[in-house]
Amino acid sequence: MIYWDIFRMALNALWANRLRSGLTLLGVIIGVTSVITIISAIEGFMGSVQAEINKLGPTTFLVVRVGGIITSEDAFFEMIKRKPFEVEYAEAIEDACEDCEKIAMQAYGFSREVKYRDKKLSNVYIRGAGASMIDIVDYEVEHGRFYSYEEDYGGRRVAFVGTTIQKQLFPNIDPIGKTIKINNLKYDIIGIAKEQGATFGHDADKIIFIPFNTFAKDFGTPRRNLTIFVKARSIDVLDKAMDQTRVVLRAYRHVPYDKEDDFSLLTADSIMEQFNNITRFMRFGLIGITSISLIVGGIIIMNIMMVSVTERTREIGIRKSIGARQKDILFQFLFESFILSVGGGLIGISLGVLLGDLLINLINMDMTPSLLAILLGIGISSGIGIFFGIYPAMKAARLQPVKALSYE
Amino acid sequence: MALIETNNLWKTYDMGKVQVHALRGISIKIDKGDYIAVMGPSGSGKSTLMNLIGCLDTPTQGEYHLNGKRVSQMHDDELAEIRNREIGFVFQTFNLMPRSTALHNVELPLIYGGRNREERLQMARHALEVVNLGERVMHKPSELSGGQRQRVAIARAMVNKPSLLLADEPTGNIDTKTGDEIMGLFAELHNNGNTIILVTHEMDIARNADRILFIRDGQIEKEEIVRRAS
Ligand SMILES: Nc1ncnc2c1ncn2[C@@H]1O[C@H](COP(=O)(O)OP(=O)(O)OP(=O)(O)O)[C@@H](O)[C@H]1O
Ligand SMILES: [Mg+2]
C-alpha cells in the first residue's frame, strides 16, 4: 500500500526533526491534558454528586417549602414568601396517601460541638429526623439500632451516630450505651451507622441523628427548614404517591384550585437535573476555557507545518519531479500533522487521566477514567491535526514542480 | 511514430509589466532511440524546453505529444504519472533527498509508482549496480562524491525503465574526468536503446550525441548531425 509507505516517510521526516516535533507534541499534550483533566474532574464530581443524591433511592421523594427549578424572578420571590411547613403534614400524608410506604419529617440540622467526658469533637452535623428515616435514606445500621417511634414520640434523648463520632470520641470502647453531650444536653448512644465514606471534602460520617420530636423540644421547631421524606410503595406508584401527597398538602395549605403549588416535590432525578442545570454553565465554561489551549496546540501544529513546507519546498519539488501526485504530497504532510496531534493527544489523555485522578483524590472523590473524555480527546486531537494540517498540506501539494525545484 | 513531437511551443512568463518569452515556437521531432544534445547561450531557453519535454511544466501555447499522447493539455496528476513512468530526469544539482540513503533515493519513484517493497528494493539495488554503486547503497548523498551522487541520480532516473532520459547539464557540477565517466554511462544507456536528451555547454560533451540542437532566444537556431543513427 502506497499510503503505508507515505506514512513511513512522514514518520521519518518527523524523526529527522526530533526536537521540533517534540516541542510541537508538547503544545498538543498541554492542550489535551488540560481538557481531559477538567472533563475527568467534572465527570468525577458530577458522579459523586449523583451517588450522594442516589442515596435517596428511586422510590423516595422530598417535599420542601423552597426548591425545584426557578424559572423567573417572580417565581423566586413567590418561593421565598411561601408559608412555613407544619409538623402535622407528615401525619396527614400518612393518613391520606395510600401509595406512600414511609414518611419521615426532618429538621435540617446544624453543626455543633459534641463531648464525651473530656473529649470534644466540633462541627458535627445534627439531624432531627423521624423514626422511619432509616428505612427511607441509604443509611444502614452497623451496630446497635436506630431509634423507635416510641422514642421519637416521647422525645427521648437518644442518638444514632456516624462512624467518625465513634472513631474520634470512642477510640477503643463500644460507644453503645454511653452518653454524649450536645449543647450540654445528654444523649444516649443507641446505634452506629455503616460507614459512608467522605465525598468531595464532606465527611458523611460526622453526623448524629436524633429523634425529630427531641430535636424540636431541644432546639425548637425549625418550621422554615422542614423537609418531609416520603418513600412510595414501589417505583410504579411513585407518580401516584406524589399526586396524593400533593392533594393533601394543597388542602392543608389552602391553595386555591387555580393557583400553582406553594411547595415543591423533588425526586433524586429532579434534584440531579436541577444540579445539572445550575452547574451546566460552569461546566461548559471550564471546558470552553481549557479548549483554548487545544486551539493553541493546533495553531502550533499549523505554524510548524507551514515552516516545514517552506523549508522542504525543494524536497517537494524532487518528489513531484519523480512522479509524486498531489495527493501523495498532501497525505505525507497531513500524516505528519496527524501523527503529531494524535500522538500528543494519546500522551495528553494518559497524563490527563492521571492528573484527574490525582486531583480527585486530593478532594476525596471517586474517579472513573472517563471513556467520554478519552474518546473526546482522541476525536478532538485527530480533528485538530486534520483541521490545522490541511492548509499547509494543500499548499505543499499544489506547489509547481519547476518552481519548487528552483526554490533557494 | 516519433517519441516526441512538439508543434510551435511557446513559454511566456508574465512578470507583471513585462512578458518574458522563454520559448518562441519550438517544433521538434525526436524518435525512439535518439541521442540529442541541446546547446545554446545562457538564458536561451534550454532548461525551459527540457522542463516542458519532461512534463514538469506546461507550455503557454502549442502542442506536445509524447508517445502519441497529447500531454500539453494534461492535468497535474496525469503529468505526475507520466513523469513517474515515462521520464527520467537528471539535474545539474543532482536533486537527491539529502537525508535518505542512495537506495531509498532510487526506490522513491517506485514507491510513487505503487510497486511492492520487495520488487522495489530489488529494482533499486539493480539500478545502483548498473551505475557501479552496488557497494554504496546505504550511503547518504553527503557521504558520496559529486560523480557518485550524479550516478545515484541516473540510477533513480532509469530505475523505472522510462522511455526518455532527460539530463540538464548533468556534468555541470563535476570535474571533467568524472564527467567522462557519466558520459560513458550515457553512451551505454543509448546503446541499450534508450532515448536521451542532454543539455550542455561543452562541445566535447555534445559530440557524444547523434544530433545537436542549437537554441537561441527561445528558437531553434540550427541543427547539426554528428552521426547517422545506427
Ligand atoms: N520562473 C521564471 N520566471 C520568469 N522568467 C523565467 C523563469 N524561468 C526562466 N525564465 C527566463 O526564461 C529564459 C530562459 O531560461 P532558461 O532557464 O530556460 O535558460 P537556459 O537556456 O537554461 O540558461 P542556462 O544555460 O543559464 O541554464 C531566461 O531569460 C529566464 O530569465
Ligand atoms: Mg539551464
Which residues of A are less than 8 Å from B111 in CB distance?
2, 5-6, 9
Within an 8 Å CB–CB cutoff, is residue B114 touching chain A? yes
> Residues near A353 by Cβ (< 8 Å), separated by ≥ 6?
A36, A40, A369, A373, A374
What pLDDT is attached to residue A313? Answer: 95
Min CA distance, B202 vs chain A (Å)? 23
- Pocket of ligand 1 contains residue B13 by CB under 6 Å: yes
The mean pLDDT value for B68-86 works out to 91
For the CA of B45, the closest atom of ligand 1 is 18
The rounded percent of chain B whose pLDDT value lies above 90 is 85
The better pLDDT of the pair A7, B72 is held by A7
> Confidence band (pLDDT; 50, 70, 90) for A202?
low
> Confidence band (pLDDT; 50, 70, 90) for A397?
very high
Range of the domain at B154: 4-225
Question: What type of residue sits at position A287?
Answer: I
Answer yes or no: is B230 within a domain. no
- How do A198-199 and A60-64 pair as beta strands? unpaired
| CATH number of the domain within which B91 lies | 3.40.50.300
Q: How far is the CA of A407 from the centre of ligand 1 (A)?
A: 14
- Pocket of ligand 1 contains residue B200 by CB under 6 Å: no
**Domain count for chain B:** 1
Residue-range domain boundaries for chain A: 2-52+275-405, 83-262
* DSSP letter string, A341-372: HHHHHHHHHHHHHHHHHHHHHHTT------HH
For the CA of B13, the closest atom of ligand 1 is 4
Answer yes or no: is B141 within a domain. yes
Subunit contact A320:B57, Cβ cutoff 8 A:
no
Min CA distance, A38 vs chain B (Å)? 42
What pLDDT is attached to residue A380? Answer: 84
- Of all protein residues, whose CA lies closest to atom 18 belonging to ligand 1? B45
User: What's the pTM?
Assistant: 0.76
The CA-to-CA distance between both ends of chain B, in Å, stands at: 17
Answer yes or no: is B90 within a domain. yes
Picking from A96-105, A337-346, A357-366, which range would have the lowest pLDDT averaged per residue? A357-366
Q: How far is the CA of B74 from the centre of ligand 2 (A)?
A: 24
Closest to B108 in 3D by CA, of B66, B150, B58, B152? B152
What pLDDT is attached to residue A213? Answer: 92
- Integer Cα distance of A19 and A15 in angstroms: 9
Residue among B83, B96, B99 whose CB faces A323 most closely: B83
- Of all protein residues, whose CA lies closest to atom 22 belonging to ligand 1? B47
Report chain A's mean pLDDT, rounded to a whole number.
87
Answer yes or no: is B23 within a domain. yes
Min CA distance, A8 vs chain B (Å)? 11
Q: How far is the CA of B230 from the centre of ligand 2 (A)?
A: 29
User: Is there a contact between B208 and B187 (Cβ–Cβ < 8 Å)?
Assistant: yes
Which residues of A are less than 8 Å from B81 in CB distance?
323, 325
